[in-house]
Amino acid sequence: MDADISSLKTANGNEARHEIVRAAAEVFMEFGFAATSIDAVAERLGATKGRIYHYYGSKAELYFDVQIAAMERLLREIEPIAQGEGNAAERLEAMALRHATILMEDLPMQKVAVRGLERELLGAVAARHAKTLRSIIRLRDDYEQIFAEVVDAGIRDGLFVDLPPRLATKPFFGALNWLTVWYVPRRLQKPEDVAEIARTLTGFAMRGILKGAQP
Amino acid sequence: MDADISSLKTANGNEARHEIVRAAAEVFMEFGFAATSIDAVAERLGATKGRIYHYYGSKAELYFDVQIAAMERLLREIEPIAQGEGNAAERLEAMALRHATILMEDLPMQKVAVRGLERELLGAVAARHAKTLRSIIRLRDDYEQIFAEVVDAGIRDGLFVDLPPRLATKPFFGALNWLTVWYVPRRLQKPEDVAEIARTLTGFAMRGILKGAQP
DNA sequence: TTGTCAACATACCGATCAGTATGTAGCCTC
DNA sequence: GAGGCTACATACTGATCGGTATGTTGACAA
């Protein structure tokens, strides 16, 4: 958001921050926000609190950064597909496929992001970080909006079932995002299996939204 | 599980426990397990810790009871439908419709149950309550099994897409269960809207799993 | 009318943990 | 080679919270 005076220092700082974010994502994924201690994140880093608090002002700020990193990757990869070529069905399918794949590739980050700001935060540190909270909710809304627009186009073209776009995207996301609940990465055998799962889920979601031929 | 010597005492005890479970479900839903304090649950009850610890030995035990109550309601209502009449597609549709409706009707309990035992527990109090944990996982597996069997029947009958039943049920549940993430109950206007949402989600999920007519 | 027990409330303890304050080792600069 | 700064580590504090120990009150029993 504000990295501009980039020099060696800033670059190193960004890399150091990113290491912390990755470790934090893993621990947050395992235990959730409240049950994750900064000491546990530090331990996973092979370091101590000092290192983390040198780069982050609070646990909430670190948690937010995980979410932002996850959302930014999704936005960065999916938006071009949405604006690309093909009819609404083709674009939506490509978006879903990429979306599901990213969830599995970046599971820790994405799992944290998908579970979202689950109230655990709103009640607690809401006021302090109200501005950051808004911007994350904004990111999420923007992302859903990208899908909603393609869905809307598909509905207008008569390709998709006749539903309010915002409502149609809910089960669509559900079929895909649910994998963050059940998917457990196995050692080895990964690259093709991930693609296979992504195709299966995408196929399901597309059938759910496409206007069928039978009455 | 062990309520047998039922007398006035046991009956009152069960009712008292159920009140606690309801309040606990609301607070757990809002803040999650770790961020929910027993004092917060007591406050929602208009009571103090003493009341809760009179009936429950620990916070984990209370949390488990919420999950058990939620799973038991689902099992109790959906199993008869699965064993009922109709072909696989008709039964699965009725099950999905009822499932989605229950999620919305009992949102606090069901939201807690859907989010499940999210590791926040496994790491922490796992050993102490290993037995209870197993039985809850068992309940969840049993429930998914009910769906998997109907799905399997539908696949064998050529009604559903040709996928491993366990894999096909994932996005099916996803489309439905995802509502626990986005659904926010509004005052008034409820009874028919809930049914409408349930029908929409069920329709999506059924299209996702039905073998389409177009190639 | 006194004992008993369920059904709580109150008071307290010990552990955990976010955040802070204070070091300190290395590098860079001049 | 002295000051300064970055990138941490270490030590500490204050607050929260799960659990327990100890009341207290009313109903019922005998």
**How far is Cα A92 from Cα A27, in angstroms, rounded to an integer?**
32
pLDDT of residue A176: 98
Q: Name residues whose C-beta falls within 8 Å of residue B181's C-beta, 6 or more positions apart in sequence.
A: A116, A174, A177
In the numeric block, which tokens belong to residue A174?
A: 């559900």
Q: Does A137 touch chain B (CB under 8 A)?
A: no
pLDDT of residue A119: 62
With a cut of 70, which residues of chain B have pLDDT below it?
1-12, 117-126, 213-215
pLDDT band at A118 (very low <50, low <70, confident <90, very high): low
A212 chain-B contacts, CB cut-off 8 A: 207, 212-214
A208 chain-B contacts, CB cut-off 8 A: 175, 204-205, 207-208
Of A103, A95, A197, A210, nearest to A160 by C-alpha is A210
Enumerate residues 2 to 21 of chain B having a beta carbon within 8 A of any beta carbon in chain A: none
> In angstroms, what separates the C-alpha of A163 from chain B's closest C-alpha?
9
Q: Does B37 touch chain A (CB under 8 A)?
A: no
pLDDT of A17 higher than 70: yes
pLDDT of residue A97: 98
Q: Does B184 touch chain A (CB under 8 A)?
A: no
Per-residue buried b or exposed e for A25-41, using 16+ beta carbons within 10 Å of the residue's own CB: bbbbbbbbbbbbebebb
> In angstroms, what separates the C-alpha of B196 from chain A's closest C-alpha?
11
pLDDT of residue A129: 82
For testing contact with chain A, the best of B39, B59, B178 (most A CBs within 10 A): B178
In the numeric block, which tokens belong to residue B75?
A: 């099992």
In the numeric block, which tokens belong to residue B122?
A: 């496994």
A103 chain-B contacts, CB cut-off 8 A: none
A147-196 pLDDT tens trace: 999 999 999 999 999 999 999 999 999 999 999 999 999 887 778 999 99
A24-57 pLDDT tens trace: 999 999 999 999 999 999 999 999 999 999 999 9
- Mean pLDDT, chain A, rounded, equals 89
Taking a C-beta distance cutoff of 8 angstroms, is the pair B51, B92 a contact? no
- Domains defined along chain B, listed by start: 59-209 (1.10.357.10)
pLDDT of A6 higher than 80: no
pLDDT band at A126 (very low <50, low <70, confident <90, very high): low
CB atoms < 10 A from the CB of B110, how many?
26
CB contact under 8 A, A204 and B208: yes
**How far is Cα B63 from Cα A63, in angstroms, rounded to an integer?**
25
A179 chain-B contacts, CB cut-off 8 A: 170, 174
As a whole number, mean pLDDT of residues A124-131 equals 73
**How far is residue B42 from each of residues A121, B59, B64, B113, B145, measured CA to CA in Å?**
20, 12, 17, 21, 36
CB contact under 8 A, A178 and B170: yes
Closest partner CB to B213 (pick from A171, A181, A213): A213
CA Rg value for chain B: 19
